[in-house]
């Protein structure tokens, strides 16, 4: 897909299709007004006939509009002008992309970025248009015997900005949007693959392949390496699986050698049946998505490598399966984590925190500037926040606020939940240093409380993406979230003044 940025009047565009917005009140966008003038009121006549009401997502494709050199004009409904916000901008862009791709248009010139979105500049609108277009066109067809028949798929999009002074910012936004989209597509592909293909070994292979495409050094630790490090919590989860656990470390060294890294830790459970605490059969097929935290780390590293960000970033992905077996964890078992802390396993389906806690302890060796873990961790987060916002908790308010800001900018939002010490006592047990679950109440928070006990030596934040990483229902599939949030967070970090801080060893 080719994305370009341009500036100019609609009547000068000789493309397959020019796209312009219409509001529900009948008000035309500036580009639509110009087309109406050039065509001597052709659009006004259409509106007065009632062929186009301007409802959000409504589309009307016009052929041979008088005095317009383009082949077609697509009018896109934008809803009520007073309610036109980020979400409606995204929906209008997706509607235009979907229709033109389905009708075989090979290119389009979109004037939607000229529309006013409160609090958002041209660069934001261009970037979101790129990401939305790529998301709308995404197809997962790797495992189908025949791909869908798209005669002439949409191949080029020209995004029109108000003036020539906006073109440079628009071009930078295109590059960012393309990089994020590539990272999102990688995360989606991995999340959509079934567990019999996307095993821990496969995930490790994809991480190793990434170093051939980008300046990333990848190391994969095997079970013996983890045993030597004392990763008893992680290895206990893998005991029920015939697939060997993998511990993946990816280092992107785009910053100074003395720069302390930002570390992204992603949960890589390639299939989660719940272990002995077996999940219900309904929707268990979707448990292949339990590695979407790890997939998002891979996607974010791919994105920042394409952008060549001047940062030092390390990705860590603990990966295994969680299956029932004679050798699997049992409720009541006690395991010892890499930190030396002991854990009583009350529920084997709370395994994500067991593999993450050892990964968090491992990151201490990097003397990190900040550590962010990303995990499809709790069903409680789905109940609390649904599919719209990721849960966010942490021990450093600066890191948390930066992530919240990045989420708003990327339209990949998170919502902060409390991490008060009051919740910690729910993890108390008579038989170990802590239990791996804290009961039904505040499940997302107590899971983060558990992880916080392994993050005391660095600034840390936790993203629970159980509700945002997977789309349920008829169009189920991986969403690629929160690649956009993580990438924006890292872009913002790259743009702020650097502080000298000695990094620790990376081997």
Count CB-CB contacts under 10 A for residue 342: 16
Nearest to 376 by CA among 306, 292, 264, 282: 292
- pLDDT score at 500: 47
Contact 404, 461 (CB under 8 A): no
Out of 162, 190, 218, pick the residue that ends a domain: 162
Residue closest to 443 by CA, chosen among 394, 403, 384: 384
The pLDDT value given to residue 336: 98
Check residue 28 and report its DSSP letter: B
* Residue 92 maps to a domain: yes
Please indicate, yes or no, if residue 54 is contained in any of the structural domains: yes
pLDDT at 151 over 70: no
CA torsion angle 232 233 236 242 (round to 10): -100
Q: How is the beta sheet containing 72-77 ordered, strand by strand?
A: 2-6, 156-160, 107-110, 17-22, 72-77, 59-63
Predicted confidence (pLDDT) at residue 281 exceeds the cutoff of 80: yes
Are residue 185 and residue 158 in the same domain, yes or no?
no
277 neighbors 332 (Cβ within 8 angstroms): no
pLDDT score of 317 more than 70: yes
Per the CB < 8 A criterion, the answer to whether 410 and 476 are in contact is: no
Do 149 and 201 fall within a single domain?
A: no
Would you place residue 150 in the very low, low, confident or very high pLDDT band (cuts 50, 70, 90)?
Answer: low
State pLDDT tens for residues 337-379: 999 999 999 999 999 999 999 999 999 999 999 999 999 999 9
503 lies in some domain = no
Question: Per-residue confidence at 257, pLDDT binned at 50, 70, 90?
Answer: confident
Specify whether 118 is catalytic.
Answer: no
Q: What is the pLDDT of residues 375-392, one digit of tens each?
A: 999 999 999 999 999 999
Q: What pLDDT is stored for residue 152 in this prediction? A: 63
Binning pLDDT at 50, 70 and 90, where does residue 149 land?
Answer: low
- CATH at residue 112: 3.40.220.10
Asked if residue 264 lies in contact with residue 300, where contact means CB atoms within 8 angstroms, the answer is yes
52 and 97 belong to one structural domain:
yes
Query: Positive or negative, the Cα torsion across 37, 43, 47, 53?
Result: negative
**Tokens (6 digits) for 471:** 């789309």
In this prediction, residue 496 carries a pLDDT of: 83
3-state SS record for 153-167: CCCEEEEECCCHHHH
72, 302, 353, 453: which is the annotated catalytic residue?
Answer: 353
Regarding whether 310 and 250 lie in a shared domain, the answer is yes
Instruction: For residue 187, give the nearest of 484, 408, 476 by alpha carbon.
Output: 484
In the structure, what pLDDT confidence band is assigned to residue 256 with cuts at 50, 70 and 90? Answer: confident
One domain for residues 89 and 195: no
Which of 128, 162, 196 is the endpoint of a domain?
162
CATH classification of the domain holding 279: 3.40.630.10
The domain total for the chain is 2
pLDDT digits (tens, 9 = 90+) for 449-474: 999 999 999 999 999 999 999 999 88
Residue percentage of the chain with pLDDT more than 70? 97
In a domain, 115, yes or no: yes
**pLDDT surpassing 80 at residue 499:** no
> Is the same domain home to 197 and 142?
no
pTM for this predicted structure: 0.95
86-139 pLDDT, tens digit each:
999 999 999 999 999 998 889 999 999 999 999 999 999 999 999 999 999 999
Q: Is there a domain that residue 372 lies in?
A: yes
What are the helix (H) ranges across 138-279? 167-192, 200-213, 223-229, 232-238
**Who contacts 245 (Cβ-Cβ below 8 Å, separation ≥6)?**
200, 223, 226, 234, 235, 237, 238, 318, 319, 320
pLDDT digits over 214-241, tens only?
899 999 999 999 999 999 999 999 999 9
Tell me which residue range forms the domain holding 43. 2-162
112/229 same-domain check: no
Question: Quick one: CA dihedral 248, 253, 257, 260, positive or negative?
Answer: negative
- Running DSSP on this structure, what letter comes out for residue 127? H
CA 67/CA 70 separation, integer angstroms: 9
Q: Based on the domain organization, do 134 and 228 belong to the same domain?
A: no
Q: What is the mean pLDDT of residues 258-265?
A: 95
Do 110 and 197 lie in a common domain? Answer: no
DSSP structure string for 403-465:
HHHHHHHHT--EEE----GGGGGGG--SSSSEES---STTHHHHHHHHHHTT-TTS-EEEEE-
Q: Looking at residue 473, what is its pLDDT? A: 86
Residue 504 has pLDDT above 60, yes or no: no
The model's confidence at residue 258, banded by pLDDT at 50, 70 and 90, is confident
Q: Is residue 353 classed as helix, strand or coil in its secondary structure?
A: helix
Q: Which residue has the tokens 């995004």?
A: 159
Q: pLDDT digits over 180-212, tens only?
A: 999 999 999 999 999 999 999 999 999 999 998
Task: Tell me if 205 is assigned to some domain.
Answer: yes
257 and 322 share one domain: yes
Do residues 240 and 349 touch, judged by C-beta distance below 8 A?
A: no
150 contacts 101 by C-beta, under 8 angstroms: yes
pLDDT of residue 474: 84
> For this structure, is 353 an active site residue?
yes
pLDDT band at 285 (very low <50, low <70, confident <90, very high): very high
Q: What is the dihedral of CA 60, 99, 184, 245, to 10 degrees?
A: 140
In this structure, what are the phi and psi dihedrals at residue 269, rounded to the nearest 5 degrees?
-75, 100
Separation of alpha carbons 42 and 380, rounded Å: 54
Sole residue written with tokens 């930066």: 402
170, part of any domain: no
Q: Which residue among the candidates 279, 308, 408, 471 is catalytic per the annotation?
A: 279
Report how far residue 390's alpha carbon sits from residue 384's, in angstroms, rounded to the nearest whole number.
Answer: 10
pLDDT for 502 beyond 70: no
Through-space distance between the first and last CA atoms of the chain, rounded to whole angstroms: 39
Nearest to 481 by CA among 387, 354, 409: 387
- Give yes or no for a contact between 428 and 507, defined as CB atoms under 8 angstroms apart: no
Among 109, 134, 162, residue at a domain's last position: 162
Share of the chain above pLDDT 90, in %: 92
> In the predicted model, is pLDDT for residue 501 greater than 50?
no
Q: What is the mean pLDDT of residues 434-439?
A: 98
Q: Is the pLDDT of residue 494 over 70?
A: yes
Domain membership of residue 343 (yes or no) is yes
Q: What is the mean pLDDT of the chain?
A: 95
**Do residues 30 and 102 both lie within one domain?**
yes
Residues 395 and 268 grouped into a single domain? yes
Looking only at the bridges linking them, the beta strands covering 390-394 and 414-416 are parallel
């Amino acid at each position: 897909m080719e994305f370009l940025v341009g500036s100019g009047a609609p009547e000068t565009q000789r493309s397959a299709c020019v796209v312009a917005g219409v509001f529900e009140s009948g008000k035309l966008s500036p580009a639509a007004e110009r087309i109406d003038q050039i065509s001597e009121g052709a659009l006004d006549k259409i509106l007065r006939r009632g062929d186009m009401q301007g409802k959000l997502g409504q589309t009307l494709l016009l052929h041979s509009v008088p005095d317009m050199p383009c082949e077609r004009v697509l009018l896109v409904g934008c809803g009520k002008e007073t309610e036109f916000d980020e979400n409606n901008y995204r929906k209008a862009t997706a509607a235009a992309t979907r229709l033109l791709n389905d009708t075989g248009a090979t290119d389009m010139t979109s004037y939607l970025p000229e529309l006013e979105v409160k609090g958002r500049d041209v660069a934001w609108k261009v970037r979101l248009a790129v990401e939305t277009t790529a998301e709308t066109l995404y197809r997962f067809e790797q495992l189908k015997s025949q791909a869908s028949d798209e005669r002439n798929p949409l191949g080029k999009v020209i995004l029109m900005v108000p003036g020539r002074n906006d073109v440079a910012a628009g071009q930078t936004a295109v590059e960012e949007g393309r990089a994020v989209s590539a990272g999102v597509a990688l995360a989606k592909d991995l999340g959509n693959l079934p567990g019999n293909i996307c095993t821990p070994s496969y995930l490790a292979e994809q991480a190793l392949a990434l170093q051939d495409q980008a300046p990333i050094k990848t190391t994969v630790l095997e079970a013996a390496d983890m045993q030597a490090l004392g990763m008893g919590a992680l290895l206990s989860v893998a005991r029920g699986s015939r697939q060997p656990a993998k511990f993946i470390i990816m280092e992107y060294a785009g910053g100074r050698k003395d720069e302390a890294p930002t570390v992204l830790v992603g949960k890589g459970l390639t299939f989660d049946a719940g272990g002995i605490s077996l999940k219900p059969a309904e929707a268990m097929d979707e448990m292949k998505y339990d590695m979407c935290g790890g997939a998002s780390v891979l996607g974010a590293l791919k994105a920042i490598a394409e952008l060549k960000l001047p940062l030092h970033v390390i990705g860590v992905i603990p990966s295994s399966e969680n299956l029932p077996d004679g050798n699997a964890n049992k409720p009541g078992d006690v395991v010892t984590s890499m930190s030396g802390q002991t854990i009583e396993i009350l529920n084997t389906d709370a395994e994500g925190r067991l593999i993450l806690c050892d990964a968090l302890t491992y990151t201490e060796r990097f003397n990190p500037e900040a550590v962010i873990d990303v995990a499809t961790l709790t069903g409680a987060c789905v109940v609390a926040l649904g599919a719209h916002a990721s849960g966010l908790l942490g021990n450093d308010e600066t890191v948390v606020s930066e992530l919240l800001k990045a989420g708003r900018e990327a339209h990949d939002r998170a919502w902060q939940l409390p991490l008060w010490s009051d919740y910690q006592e729910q993890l108390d047990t008579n038989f170990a240093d802590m239990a791996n679950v804290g009961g039904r109440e505040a499940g997302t928070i107590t899971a983060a409380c558990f992880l916080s006990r392994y993050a005391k030596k660095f600034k840390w934040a936790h993203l629970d993406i159980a509700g945002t990483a997977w789309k349920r229902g008829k169009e189920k599939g991986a969403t690629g979230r929160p690649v956009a949030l993580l990438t924006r967070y890292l872009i913002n970090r790259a743009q702020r003044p650097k502080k000298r801080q000695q990094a620790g060893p990376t081997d």
